[in-house]
Structure 1
């Protein structure tokens, strides 16, 4: 393990403490994590993303605007070397290709990378996996660890779905995320690691989206600022309520800023969007205003090339009349507090039609008529009319749910048809979903919008890019916490050097 004097002598040379800190984004997707880190003051050194679709969006927003399709496809080709792609800042290959390039790894290590961030899939990860190289489920997390060992960054940030912190505990085994925390602590020179359970709505995103993070400082850096990791998980709500586990906030914990009435809602997020684009509102919500105007994250050359092309990624999906009517029924159920599974009663094979109608009347007994959709259109004048309509349009698919204007969005997923607009009989556009994630309108998604179910295993269209992304607002908060910790270490090292010279 390095000694503290080694920190003072080498790690903060050239007085870099106030420069943009360099980061690497692994499993970068379309760039939600990178966008947040850029807004927090980090500067991209390299991103790695294997999906050509997601990588196209990343390239378009962070590297350069794609105006020459042929030139871009040549760059993105499998035939283009990892070294050539890395020189541009984006490798469109598996992480393994980077690990097999000594030149790329040496260049990164020589840059003294400040932060390696990413969300490696951890479903099958275990500490035993390194001894079983044939277990494909374990390869990507171990590749992440191998990359950290090779590059030796000052800090590491890992993000994943909240379930990763829970899996296997019922069997008395450590969760994959616990195993990754332990592996990171033993990686290279070692890291002090703080687990955190964060909700995007606590950081200014209008979405209920719990995620886990591991926030780590290399042991020599951690010692400089007196940071020690914990086995206990910091939760974003601890910034609002007292807790018994943490007498003090962990140094690297992202600062949560939105609670209770301060949490942004669906109305804040998309109330200013009409089917044709922007609405003219006399009182534009603060969040919507920020989404419309924020381009602060964009590199200068991207901003100059982007210009103002109007609202992008806001193409409405086409629905049949029957589907639109079904969406209005969902909205009516929401407003009347009728269970959404009511729509599936007609599909009960073991029940007669008379029995189904009886069940429907019982489920609808307390509803007010005429029944109206969210747009005010009358869908049924009486309970009997609605029963017959449901008998005609009933479906087993009752997972679709209309959003409520006065609440944050539920967790954004990768499918375009899981949520229904609060008042219009349609699903949501890519832009509306991106607003829930806190992507500003200046961020443009590329490639096709969606894909067939059989192609979802290997294609990453726009809806999937949005659903898989780290909410930029949450990433920004994490980036600010890591930046402050790193700058604190730089300042402490500078002060120590000053004292030595004075002595």
Structure 2
């Protein structure tokens, strides 16, 4: 068996999956990503290509190729800010029949890539001949069904099918699909015959089975794999039928494999009546409910248990003072030093840790964040009472008295003659007056809990604030990246944040980090797949 396995990354994002798979022993053949903004980060860190510098120098990219664009290859400046949903009529392309795809990032729509492959069977033949070990990616799947009746004009509903179709063309040994927990929730489609309930995870499993892959499905949580984040994720591992057959010979009585084989045969037998196959005919394994199965035999092995999860304090305490310039591997964080060692990088000199700039907040925002930080420490269910007080709900006198006991233990942030002052409120009326002066319509905001893993919602920076009362602020991109298990040398590129209508197509740094697959999680899954391939090939 070769030491380095090969993989193709679809829906590559900023590179979290590729970074983790590389550490697990997979060598990237090529990648595809829709967004040029996320692609810029991927190219910089994974392929060592600085698209921003090339743009300023008016040079062409050599490793990052546009499948379609409205701009020529010598106009990188506009390409990097291009709306990827506007390229269907783009007349420029960097792909031709003689293209060498090795170590390339293909920026653009996967369906445009599939069109290119359909028109170039020689390239498809060459890809098949390479016997790629793994194709991985995370397409949006939440409302996907093979029936395809719901939101027909929503292109996202077809992306899982595009992923499966790509696997059917290239025929890798294995497939890895990652998605949010929501993929397991049922959704309803309506037509002239009535309403129909579907499960996207099941429909995706059928799609890969139709392409000749036997799926194994699971619900993981990143916190069990050393990631300081409570992040549930659906994972589908699928094995090409001949590969699965060899794996099953080694594990003939394994119930997980037997269940997957039964489902695969059912899909093949009923491929013209797939609606007859329901959630009762297949299952996914939840790490919370089927913990004993995550032992590394078929499903990834847990590395952390409830009593040793990595916390937010472990992840970011060593870089909380944003007035300090931190250098790589020179902080006191044991967790940071660990991930920097796992995902090592050739750096001749010490470098400044990037993406750690704070956002400017006015008094209203800082005072509000301080309030969230304080009430996060309240005990005996009083946090809800404080939240109700903040949102204007009626509070009983007895509860107000109990709340005041808690508030008297903490300093809130006030303003007096234009100067910000931290002080303990004298009475509940002072608290209520402060609350009225810092109103918000956004009640999803909260402070991090210092001694727990971070929550999964990381794409919108204003939803979370730091746990330290001396730091009433949102998290920096670097702190968010720590929660996702990115090493400190990994630099996020393009805009930091965005807003308005541009949210529809721009993927700034915060979104790149929040949408990424945690590299430590990808590493754990990749090591399991590599073990299986090494055992049978």
Which TM-score applies when normalising by structure 1? 0.82
Residue of structure 2 equivalent to 1:290: 338
Is the aligned partner of 1:392 residue 2:437? yes
1:94 Cα deviation after fit: 0.6
Question: Which one of 314, 323, 332 corresponds to residue 268 of structure 1?
Answer: 314
Partner deviation per Cα, 1:213-253 (whole Å, 9 max, x = no partner): 111111111111216253322233467x55xxx6x968441
SS in structure 2 opposite 1:113? Answer: coil
1:293 Cα deviation after fit: 4.5
Residue of structure 1 equivalent to 2:226: 204
Residue of structure 1 equivalent to 2:15: 31
Residue of structure 2 equivalent to 1:421: 466
Alpha carbons 2:142, 2:182 under 8 Å: kept = no
Residue of structure 2 equivalent to 1:185: 209
Is the aligned partner of 1:109 residue 2:120? no
Residue of structure 1 equivalent to 2:76: none
Is the aligned partner of 1:330 residue 2:345? no
CA distance in structure 2 between the partners assigned to 1:123 and 1:203 by the alignment: 25
Higher mean alpha-carbon deviation, 159-168 vs 145-154, is at 159-168
Question: Which one of 81, 84, 96 corresponds to residue 94 of structure 2?
Answer: 81
Higher relative contact order (CA 8 A, sep 6+): 1
Question: Which one of 68, 71, 85 corresponds to residue 59 of structure 2?
Answer: 71
Is the aligned partner of 1:122 residue 2:141? yes
1:417 Cα deviation after fit: 0.8
Partner deviation per Cα, 1:135-192 (whole Å, 9 max, x = no partner): 63432111111101100010001110011012238987331111111221121xx222
CA distance in structure 1 between the partners assigned to 2:32 and 2:287 by the alignment: 28
Residue of structure 2 equivalent to 1:408: 453
CA distance in structure 1 between the partners assigned to 2:433 and 2:206 by the alignment: 59
CA distance in structure 2 between the partners assigned to 1:394 and 1:325 by the alignment: 10
Over 3 Å counting, the alpha-carbon distance change for 1:197 and 1:455 in structure 2 is same
Considering only aligned residues, what root-mean-square deviation do their CA atoms show, in Å? 3.2
Partner deviation per Cα, 1:52-81 (whole Å, 9 max, x = no partner): 100000000111241433335685552342
Alpha carbons 1:343, 1:398 under 8 Å: kept = no
CA distance in structure 2 between the partners assigned to 1:92 and 1:160 by the alignment: 21
Residue of structure 2 equivalent to 1:312: 354
Is the aligned partner of 1:437 residue 2:437? no
Counterpart mapping for 1:239-254 below 5 A: 241-242=291-292, 251-254=297-300
1:402 Cα deviation after fit: 0.7
CA distance in structure 2 between the partners assigned to 1:457 and 1:215 by the alignment: 30
Over 3 Å counting, the alpha-carbon distance change for 1:330 and 1:177 in structure 2 is same
Alpha carbons 1:159, 1:213 under 8 Å: kept = yes
Residue of structure 1 equivalent to 2:115: 100
Counterpart mapping for 1:6-45 below 5 A: 17-45=1-29
Counterpart mapping for 1:443-482 below 5 A: 443-482=490-529
Over 3 Å counting, the alpha-carbon distance change for 1:277 and 1:407 in structure 2 is farther
Alpha carbons 2:145, 2:204 under 8 Å: kept = yes
Over 3 Å counting, the alpha-carbon distance change for 1:340 and 1:73 in structure 2 is farther
Question: Which one of 411, 418, 428 corresponds to residue 372 of structure 1?
Answer: 411
Counterpart mapping for 1:130-279 below 5 A: 136-168=155-187, 173-187=197-211, 190-226=212-248, 228=257, 230=260, 231-237=282-288, 241-242=291-292, 251-273=297-319, 274-275=321-322, 276-278=324-326
Counterpart mapping for 1:338-353 below 5 A: 338-339=382-383, 342=386, 345=389
Residue of structure 2 equivalent to 1:5: none
CA distance in structure 2 between the partners assigned to 1:413 and 1:283 by the alignment: 23
Over 3 Å counting, the alpha-carbon distance change for 1:384 and 1:25 in structure 2 is same
Over 3 Å counting, the alpha-carbon distance change for 1:357 and 1:398 in structure 2 is farther
Alpha carbons 2:41, 2:492 under 8 Å: kept = yes
Q: Structure 1: give runs of 5+ residues left out of the alignment.
A: 1-16, 491-503
1:123 Cα deviation after fit: 2.2
Between the two proteins, the alignment pairs up a number of residues equal to 456
Residue of structure 2 equivalent to 1:497: none
CA distance in structure 1 between the partners assigned to 2:140 and 2:187 by the alignment: 16
Residue of structure 2 equivalent to 1:12: none
CA distance in structure 1 between the partners assigned to 2:429 and 2:481 by the alignment: 40
1:132 Cα deviation after fit: 11
